[in-house]
């Protein structure tokens, strides 16, 4: 029974929250409010339901600083909402444009990294950083690309903060009743402390993702290409934890927060109607109309066309597909876990014999030790005499273990099982296996021929075919880098997957009509000066690049040193080359002589996350 009358939409949201077990009595919930219709409606709905749910609400806002005064006005609007309803207010800012330029990523990806890094801090997930929410503390910590799920939840481990170069982000966590609390220092407005002594004011963050967002996500992944996991779309819950990606805590575990999506069953137009009933205004983001962003084109062009011309319920259909895919994925994950414990064995590489990190008991194991445990044990070895080998073992990268899979078992299983097991081995070992790699492995396993034949895999791994086993052999780090040099063709237009970086680098043709209004001219190349295919690779010793606004070409090494790019990121920094000339380099303006002018067809080279794009929103 409700304590007070509630809107009919609030009743539906309450039903979704209870079915998915998103919120429980006693939860400290930060509502992520951008100022737009979705997030403002979420805040008002949860205010209606908070007594019924027994939760404590606060307001969370991240200012991306992308729209100047408009972004600041959004922040003031959200602060006013919090003050009006007597809610605690947590705010942070971050230079998204700078982050995107430094990493060569899109604005959407950079904004998400910084925003979700802030969420994780509020949830107390980052227990290795010993400072509180403070204006001088980096907030944009990057999640790992590998994500594991528990049923309808995703468990998102946080990358080692020592390896994540994030820009400074200003924060404050203060009572919203004080208009000036937004700008108080963390010393005077520190959030509550957890028992461990770290800032931990919240245990849930609620975001305003809707049914429309779900449909857009599924459709975008179908267009780009995806598997069953990607079709799962936006998950109702994300379990946020710090540490190794294999150490997953279930939803009732202590010390872990969650990001929840209470509006996944609601259309955006229903939220607009709800706010109109309340006479509650909201802010409109001017960039939502920009065709520069893929999601906007899907939202404003593709989905309306599908609804109008093919299926009026296409949005609901995509959402149902996502729910089916999540349940199927959950079933298969449980099945795969059982197979990995019986037909897969992990063993010590021969070249590690004699290292103190390995004793005889580790020569054959069936349950894989976590990658971080293996790396930490290797680093604790004080007997290494080869500094280069020691440095390679310190670098993040794939597991330093061999994997043996029963060949007779593999060949007698259904194709779906075969693919699942090979994909799972790749994920646990850190080998980025695409569909084409898995199909090649299966053909290789089924071939007749002499024992000992080898097949090359990404990152220097190889698979050896034996009569009774398919053996995945880790690279010998005495002979190669942890992550080797790479080079891939980049069609123009087209894309190249770069598993060594976990990104896709794509080349897009930009029409003269849109380039000035929608794109940074510093990043646009003259299309008529470039061939139909480029090469994407990491830079090599002796490479030179001449970015605009510099007097002469410089060695790539010197450019990266000036930017204080540390190893191993420096060695793997991507460039795009036309024959022997570098025409694009991550984070730098294109060469002045190749820059597109007004009225010319242009080429944009940019990065998008892979496979992160399939894991979370």
- pLDDT tens by residue, 79-119: 999 999 999 999 999 888 777 776 666 677 788 889 998 99
| C-alpha dist (Å) from residue 183 to 93, 174, 180, 470 | 11, 9, 6, 60
Q: What is the pLDDT of residue 285?
A: 86
Average pLDDT over residues 58-86: 93
* Domain endpoint, select from 473, 496, 527: 473
Same-domain pairing of 299 and 404: no
Which residues does 303 contact at the CB level (< 8 Å), separation at least 6? 212, 215, 216, 219, 314, 315
Which residues does 469 contact at the CB level (< 8 Å), separation at least 6? 404, 405, 406, 407
Average pLDDT over residues 541-557: 93
How many structural domains compose the chain? 3
Q: Any alpha helices (H) in 21-143, and if so which ranges?
A: 37-53, 69-84, 96-103, 107-122
Q: Are 186 and 132 in contact (CB under 8 A)?
A: yes
d(CA 148, CA 102): 28
Same-domain pairing of 159 and 19: yes
Pick from 112, 328, 110: nearest CA to 230: 328
Q: Are 304 and 74 in contact (CB under 8 A)?
A: no
Average pLDDT over residues 434-455: 93
Q: Does the pLDDT at position 555 exceed 70?
A: yes
Where residue 14 falls among pLDDT bands split at 50, 70, 90? Answer: very high
Q: What is the pLDDT of residue 514?
A: 63
Q: What is the pLDDT of residue 118?
A: 92
Where residue 171 falls among pLDDT bands split at 50, 70, 90? Answer: very low
Higher local confidence (pLDDT), 299 or 449: 299
Domain contains 552: yes
Domain contains 326: no
Task: Name the least confident of 64-68, 227-231, 232-236, 550-554.
Answer: 64-68
Q: Is pTM, for the whole model, over 0.75?
A: no
Same-domain pairing of 356 and 301: no
Average pLDDT over residues 461-468: 95
For residue 390, the domain's CATH number is 3.30.465.60
Average pLDDT over residues 107-132: 72
Average pLDDT over residues 435-452: 93
d(CA 594, CA 526): 6
For residue 236, the domain's CATH number is 3.40.50.620
Where residue 155 falls among pLDDT bands split at 50, 70, 90? Answer: very low
d(CA 486, CA 506): 16
Q: Which two tokens stand for residue 445?
A: 């396993």
Q: Please, what sign has the CA dihedral across residues 258, 264, 266, 268?
A: positive
Where residue 556 falls among pLDDT bands split at 50, 70, 90? Answer: very high
How many residues in total does the chain contain?
Answer: 617
Domain contains 480: no
d(CA 349, CA 123): 39
Task: Report the percentage of the chain scoring pLDDT > 70.
Answer: 75
Chain center to CA of 508: 22
403-418 pLDDT per residue, tens: 999 999 999 999 999 9
Same-domain pairing of 509 and 410: no
Which residues span the domain enclosing 393?
A: 341-473
Residue 240, CB-side half-sphere exposure with 13 Å CA sphere:
27
Higher local confidence (pLDDT), 197 or 293: 293
Chain center to CA of 589: 25
Same-domain pairing of 427 and 536: no
Q: Does the pLDDT at position 314 exceed 70?
A: yes
Q: What is the pLDDT of residue 1?
A: 52
Rounded to 5°, the CA angle 354-355-359 comes to: 75
Q: Are 437 and 353 in contact (CB under 8 A)?
A: no
Q: Does the pLDDT at position 478 exceed 90?
A: no
Q: Does the pLDDT at position 369 exceed 50?
A: no
Which residues does 476 contact at the CB level (< 8 Å), separation at least 6? 349, 351
Which DSSP state fits 538?
E
Q: What is the pLDDT of residue 196?
A: 34
Same-domain pairing of 500 and 432: no
Q: Are 390 and 384 in contact (CB under 8 A)?
A: yes
Higher local confidence (pLDDT), 389 or 149: 389
Where residue 517 falls among pLDDT bands split at 50, 70, 90? Answer: low
18-57 pLDDT per residue, tens: 999 999 999 999 999 999 999 999 999 999 999 999 999 9
Same-domain pairing of 511 and 598: yes
Q: Are 142 and 159 in contact (CB under 8 A)?
A: yes
Same-domain pairing of 35 and 135: yes
Higher local confidence (pLDDT), 546 or 390: 546
Higher local confidence (pLDDT), 51 or 377: 51
Domain contains 566: yes
Where residue 521 falls among pLDDT bands split at 50, 70, 90? Answer: confident
Domain contains 328: no
Average pLDDT over residues 340-355: 84
Place of tokens 């309808």: 152
Average pLDDT over residues 111-129: 78
Domain contains 538: yes
Question: Percent helix, strand, coil in the chain (nearest 5)?
Answer: 40, 20, 40
| Dihedral (Cα; 348, 350, 354, 355), 10-degree rounding | -50
Q: Please, what sign has the CA dihedral across residues 473, 476, 481, 486?
A: negative
Domain contains 389: yes
Pick from 488, 532, 535, 538: nearest CA to 509: 532
Q: Does the pLDDT at position 265 exceed 70?
A: yes
Domain contains 20: yes
Rounded to 5°, the CA angle 266-271-277 comes to: 140
Where residue 354 falls among pLDDT bands split at 50, 70, 90? Answer: low
Most confident of 19-28, 289-298, 427-436: 19-28
Same-domain pairing of 498 and 461: no
Task: Name the least confident of 90-99, 166-175, 211-220, 284-293.
Answer: 166-175
Pick from 394, 350, 203, 221: nearest CA to 294: 221
Same-domain pairing of 348 and 314: no
Q: Does the pLDDT at position 248 exceed 70?
A: no
Where residue 288 falls among pLDDT bands split at 50, 70, 90? Answer: confident
Pick from 165, 252, 191, 232: nearest CA to 58: 191
Q: Does the pLDDT at position 378 exceed 90?
A: no
Q: What is the pLDDT of residue 98?
A: 78
Same-domain pairing of 134 and 161: yes
Same-domain pairing of 494 and 468: no
The helix or strand, by DSSP H or E, that contains position 28, with its residue range, turns out to be strand 28-32
């Amino acid at each position: 029974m409700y304590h007070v009358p509630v809107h009919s939409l609030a009743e539906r949201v309450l039903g979704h929250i209870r079915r998915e077990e998103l919120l429980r009595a006693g939860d400290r919930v930060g509502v992520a409010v951008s100022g737009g219709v979705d997030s403002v409606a979420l805040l008002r709905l949860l205010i209606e339901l908070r007594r019924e749910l027994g939760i404590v609400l606060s307001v969370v806002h991240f200012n991306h600083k992308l729209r100047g005064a408009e972004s600041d006005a959004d922040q003031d609007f959200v602060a006013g909402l919090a003050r009006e309803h007597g809610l605690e207010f947590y705010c942070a800012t971050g230079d998204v444009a700078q982050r995107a330029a430094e990493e060569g990523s899109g604005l959407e990806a950079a904004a998400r990294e910084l925003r979700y890094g802030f969420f994780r801090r509020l949830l107390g997930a980052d227990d290795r950083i010993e400072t509180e929410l403070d204006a001088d503390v980096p907030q944009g910590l990057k999640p790992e690309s590998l994500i594991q799920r528990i049923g309808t939840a995703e468990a998102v481990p946080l990358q080692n903060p020592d390896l994540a170069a994030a820009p400074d982000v200003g924060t404050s966590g203060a009572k919203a009743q004080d208009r000036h609390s937004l700008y108080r220092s963390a010393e005077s407005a520190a959030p509550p402390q957890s028992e461990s002594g770290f800032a931990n004011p919240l245990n849930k963050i609620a975001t305003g993702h809707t049914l429309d967002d779900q449909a857009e996500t599924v459709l975008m992944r179908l267009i780009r290409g995806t598997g069953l996991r990607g079709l799962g779309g936006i998950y109702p819950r994300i379990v946020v934890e710090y540490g190794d990606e294999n150490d997953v805590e279930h939803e009732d575990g202590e010390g872990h927060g969650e990001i929840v999506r209470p509006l996944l069953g609601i259309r955006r137009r229903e939220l607009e109607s709800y706010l109109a009933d309340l006479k509650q205004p909201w802010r409109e983001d001017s960039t939502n109309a920009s065709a520069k962003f893929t999601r906007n084109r899907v939202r404003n062009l593709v989905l309306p066309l599908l609804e109008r011309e093919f299926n009026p319920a296409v949005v609901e259909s995509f959402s149902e597909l996502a729910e089916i895919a999540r349940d199927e994925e959950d079933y298969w994950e449980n099945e795969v876990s059982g197979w990995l414990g019986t037909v897969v064995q992990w063993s010590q590489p021969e070249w590690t014999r004699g290292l103190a990190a390995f004793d005889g008991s580790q020569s054959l194991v069936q349950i894989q030790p976590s990658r971080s445990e293996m790396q930490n044990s290797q680093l604790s070895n004080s007997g290494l005499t080869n500094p280069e080998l020691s440095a390679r073992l310190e670098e993040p990268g794939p597991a330093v273990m061999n994997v043996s899979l029963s060949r007779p078992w593999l060949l007698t299983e259904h194709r779906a099982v075969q693919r699942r097991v090979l994909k799972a081995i790749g994920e646990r070992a850190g080998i980025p296996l695409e569909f084409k790699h898995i199909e090649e492995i299966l053909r290789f396993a089924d071939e007749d021929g002499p024992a000992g034949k080898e097949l090359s895999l990404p990152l220097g791994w190889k698979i050896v075919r034996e009569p009774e086993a398919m053996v995945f052999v880790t690279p010998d780090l005495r002979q190669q880098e942890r992550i080797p040099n790479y080079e891939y063709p980049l069609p123009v237009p087209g894309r190249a997957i770069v598993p060594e970086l976990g990104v896709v680098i794509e080349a897009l043709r930009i029409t003269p009509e849109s380039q000035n209004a929608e794109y940074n001219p510093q990043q646009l190349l003259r299309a008529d000066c470039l061939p139909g295919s480029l090469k994407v690779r990491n830079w090599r010793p002796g490479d030179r690049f001449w970015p605009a606004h510099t007097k002469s070409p410089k060695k790539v090494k010197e450019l990266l040193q000036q930017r204080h790019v540390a190893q191993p990121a420096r060695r793997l920094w991507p460039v795009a080359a036309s024959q022997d000339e570098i025409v694009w380099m991550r984070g730098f303006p294109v060469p002045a002589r190749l820059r597109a002018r007004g009225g010319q067809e242009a080429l944009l080279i940019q990065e998008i996350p892979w496979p992160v794009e399939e894991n979370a929103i």
